[in-house]
Chain A
C-alpha cells in the first residue's frame, strides 16, 4: 500500500491553509470561467498561467487544476439554467437539464449535475491514484522509440475517434506540428521557417494559440448566435439537495457505466465532449422509459455530467505519467509544468513525489471543495449570466488580450491572438477539430525529439518501431486507429460489389 502512504503524504502537502485558499480561489475562478462565454478551462488556465510563475509550484498547480474542476462544474450551470452550454462537454447536459429547469426543477437538475460531476471525478481520481504509479513505473522502461509510438498512438486516435472528417483532423494536426517546428531547432541550431522575422525565432506559443482559438473564436461564435440570454433563476434548498441525492442512488447503474466511459475516453484522448454524448446515448438506450429522455429526466443529466468529469479528470493520468495530455486543458497544464521546468513523465513520480502526490491529493480535496462551493453559490453565477453580452463580451476580450500579452510581454502575441481567433472561428464553422491542433502544438517538440532519438539509435532505420513486441504493438494500434475511418467506406464498397 505504497500508494496510500504517498497519498497521505500528498494530503499533508495539499492541506495547508494557503493551499486550501488557492483551492477555493481556483474553484471560484474556474466556475466563473466555465459560466462566461468565450472563457473555458483551456484558455482560462492559459490566461492565468503567467501569473503563477512567481508562485510555489505545488500551490500553483493546485490552483490551476482547481480552475479546471471549477470550469467543469460551471459548464453545467449555464446548460441547465440558460440552455447555453458554457463548455462543449456540457452540450449533452442541456438535453434534459434545461427541460427540468423549465418545469421548475432547476434545483434538482443542478444538484444532480454537480453530484454526478463529483462522482465522476472522484472515481477518476481513484483511478489516477492507483494506476498512475504503475503506468509511470512501466513507462520508465520506455525508450525513445516507445515514447514516439505512444505519441503516435495519441495522434492517430484523434483521426480514428474524432467525429470530424479525418482529412481535416490530419490537416490541423500537421498544422500544429508545423507551427511547433517554427523557430530555432534545438538540436542543430538551424532556424526553421522564420523567414528573417525576429518575432518568429521563439516559434508559436501554444498559450497564445489557445487564447485565440478558444477565447476569441468563441466570442465570435457567441456573437453569431445573437446576444440575448434568457434564463431561469435558481436557488438550491437543502431539502431539494437531500431529495435529489436519494433519487440519484437509483441511477447507480448509469453512474457506473458513465464513469467507465468517461475514464476510458479521458485516458485515450477522446476527451470529455464525446464521453458525455456517449454516456447520454448509453443511458438512454439502457433506460426503461426512453421517451422521457430529452423532456427532463434526471438520469439524462447524471450520465453526461458523470462521464464528462470522469474524462476531464482522467485526462490528467497520461499527462502525469507519460507527458501526453488527454485534453486541450490538460495540454495547457502540461505546458505550465514545462515552463516551471518540470518534465511530466515517469521520472516526475520519482524526482518530485511531493509535487505529484500533492496534486493528486488536491484533486480529492478540490472536488469536495468544488461541490460545496457550487451548491452554495449557484444564484450568484446565475446573476452573472444576466449581465448583457455587450458588457461581458468586451471585458472578456480585454482579459484575453492581457492574457496573451503577459505570456512573453510581447505585443506581437496580441496580434497573433487575433489571427488565431479568426482561424478558431473558421475552423469551428468548417468542422476542423481544434483539440488535435493544440495538442500537436504542445507535443510537437517532444514528438520530434523522440523521433530523432529513435532514428539516431537505429541509424535512420524505421525498423526500430517494430523492434520489440511493445513498440510494435503500439505502432500497429496506431495504424489501426489511423485507418479506422476507412473501414465504413470499405464496407460500403464491398457491399456495393456483391
Chain B
C-alpha cells in the first residue's frame, strides 16, 4: 500500500483518516480518564484499589499514544502522504457499506430473515447480474436454511419482524 499521492489513480490520502482516527482515540482516552476520576482512582481504606484505579492508567496510556500519533500526523500534514484508497476503491467499499448499514437497520425493524432475503437478492441482481431463478433460489434458500438450522435444530430464535408474525412463526 506504499503508493504516493501523485500515482495515476486519484484518491483520498492518509492525511485526514489518520488525524480523525487519532482524534477519536484521544476522545476515548478523555472519556476513560474522566470517568475513572469520577468513580475514584485512589485507594479505598480497608478495601483496596477503587474501581477507576486500573482504567485510569489505561486511559493515560491511550491519551499519550493517540496524542503521539496525532502529533506525528499533524507534523506531516503538508507533506505528500501515502494514499488511503483511490476514489474507485472507496466507491466499491461504499457499494457494500451502504447496503450493509441499511441491512442492519432493517434487521432491527423487519427481523433477520426478510432483510437477509432482500440483501442477497439485491447483490445478486444489481452486482452479480444473475437471472431471476438463481437469485430467488439463493436469496430465499439462505434465510430458509438459517431458519431450519437455528429455529428448528438448535432452537435458537433469531430476530423476527411483522411478516413472520403474520405467518404465525
Residues of A within 8 A of B (CB): 50-51, 54, 165, 167-168, 170-171, 173-175, 177-178, 181, 185, 187-188, 190-193, 216, 219-220, 223-227, 388, 390-391, 393-395, 397-398, 401-402, 405-406, 409, 411, 414-415, 417-418, 421-422, 425-427, 429-430, 432, 448, 451-452, 455-456, 460
Contact = CB atoms under 8 A, between A and B. Distances in A.
Interface in B65-114: 65-66, 68-69, 72, 84-85, 89-90, 92-93, 95-97, 100-101, 103-104, 107-108, 112
Interface in B25-39: 25, 28-29, 31-32, 35-36, 39
Contacts of A455: 48-49, 53
Contacts of B104: 401, 414-415, 417-418
Nearest to A428: B1
Nearest to B60: A174
A432 B25 CA distance: 12
Contacts of A432: 21
Contacts of A393: 96, 123
Contacts of B31: 193
A223 B154 contact: no
Nearest to A166: B65
Given A168-B69, A181-B54, A226-B92, 17 more contacts: A167-B66, A174-B58, A178-B62, A185-B51, A188-B47, A190-B51, A216-B100, A220-B97, A223-B95, A390-B124, A393-B96, A398-B143, A402-B146, A406-B150, A411-B159, A429-B1, A432-B21
A393 B142 CA distance: 13
B93 A220 contact: yes
Contacts of B4: none
Contacts of A171: 25, 62, 65-66, 69
8 A-B pairs with least C-beta separation: A390-B128, A174-B62, A190-B51, A170-B65, A171-B65, A390-B127, A185-B51, A223-B96
Nearest to A426: B21
A91 to B, nearest CB: 13
Nearest to A219: B96
Interface in B131-158: 138, 142-143, 146, 150, 154, 156-158
A233 B35 CA distance: 57
A405 B108 CA distance: 11
Contact of A397 (B36, B100, B130): B100
Contacts of A54: 154
Contact of A391 (B25, B43, B120): B120
A178 B123 contact: no
B119 A394 contact: yes
Nearest to B86: A224
B51 A167 contact: no
Contacts of A427: 21
A178 B165 CA distance: 40
A398 B140 CA distance: 13
A224 B93 contact: yes
22 contacts: A178-B28, A178-B55, A185-B51, A192-B36, A192-B51, A216-B100, A220-B93, A224-B90, A225-B89, A391-B128, A393-B96, A394-B116, A398-B146, A401-B104, A402-B158, A406-B150, A414-B108, A417-B104, A418-B101, A430-B84, A452-B54, A455-B49
